[in-house]
Amino acid sequence: MKEAADKVMVALDKPDAALALALASELYGTGCWMKVGMELFYAVGPAIVRELKARGFRVFLDLKMHDIPNTVRGGARSITRLGVDMFNVHAAGGAAMMSAAVEGIQEAAAHTTAAPIVIAVTQLTSTSEQVLNEEIGIAGSVEDAVVRYARFARKAGLHGVVASPLEVAAIKSACGSDFITVTPGIRPSGADAGDQIRITTPSDAVRGGTDYLVIGRPITGAPRPAEALENILKEMTEA
């Protein structure tokens, strides 16, 4: 179970610190990561990251930076000083922007702590091929768009990407097995997909070779989150 928990990032999508920390306490000891996203970070700020780190959690700060290179470089410096283990930018910001994130980490890490892992969001797991083609304006399949962004992310010096577990094999084949895949869009069978489109079960995600499974509502919205996590870890272990 420990090996499976090392791969799970629980999305702490909560509106305040008390709710987030209560949930984190409930899951403490499993060894899973905590993912801090926009809802929590914009409500309570960097203090939540420091608190989770003080409690021994590994933290993925999921703010999906997307701005001009100079701004992203500065953002990456600040995030590195905060001491997160992983953060992300949008690949749609382009190679120069992604390289600037890497530079920001190097500048800050030279003076402070260990360098975090930086990854790029390829196409959100809530995006269908129809939306990609008709609204975002990118022709072709989602998988092709994801792999194209993944190749640029790798060239820019990033450690990996966020994508659907359905695209892991194509990403690994294009970018190498050591290129990290972080995959939301995880739904145990029978769970409500909600706004997620490109989904798989925890066992299929493990069989598909993903490095990290990002899981929110199937755990955080369950009546007993610790039990929901345990069931998922069991499913992953048996896969």
Ligand X SMILES: O=c1ccn([C@@H]2O[C@H](COP(=O)(O)O)[C@@H](O)[C@H]2O)c(=O)[nH]1
Residue 65 annotated as part of some ligand binding site: yes
**223 vs 16: CA distance, rounded Å:** 19
The residue among 172 and 217 lying less far from ligand X, judged by its C-beta, is 217
The answer to whether 178 is a known ligand-binding residue is: no
Find the part of the chain contacting ligand X (CB under 6 A) among 16-24, 68-76, 167-175, 214-222. Answer: 214-222
The Cα 109–Cα 104 span in angstroms is: 8
| Residue 214 binds ligand X, judged by CB under 6 A | yes
Is 171 an interacting residue with respect to ligand X (CB under 6 A)? no
In the complex, least distance from residue 227 CB atom to ligand X, rounded to whole angstroms: 17
Q: Which CB sits closer to ligand X, 5 or 214?
A: 214
Residue 63, annotated as binding a ligand = yes
Q: Which two tokens stand for residue 113?
A: 């702590």
- Give yes or no for residue 216 binding ligand X (CB under 6 A): yes
Which is it for strands 117-121 and 160-162: parallel, antiparallel or unpaired?
parallel
Closest CA to 8 of 167, 190, 184: 184
Of 119, 199, 191, 137, which is closest to residue 167 (Cα–Cα)?
199
Q: Which residues lie below 8 Å from residue 175, measured CB to CB, with a gap of 6+?
A: 150, 151, 153, 154
CB of 165 to ligand X, least distance (A): 11
Q: Examine the residue annotation and report whether 7 is marked as an active-site residue of this protein.
A: no
Selected from 31, 116, 160, 184, the binder of ligand X by CB under 6 A is 184
CB contact at 8 A, 161 and 121: yes
Pick the piece of the chain touching ligand X (CB under 6 A) from 69-77, 91-99, 104-112, 216-224: 216-224
Residues 6 or more apart whose CB falls under 8 angstroms from that of 135 comprise none
Q: How far is the C-alpha of 228 from the C-alpha of 226, rounded, in Å?
A: 5
The binding site for substrate consists of 13, 35, 62-71, 125, 187, 196, 216-217
Query: Residues annotated as binding site?
Result: 13, 35, 62-71, 125, 187, 196, 216-217
Instruction: Give the binding site for ligand X (CB under 6 A).
Output: 11, 13, 37, 121, 124-125, 162, 184, 194, 196, 214-218
Catalytically active residues are 64
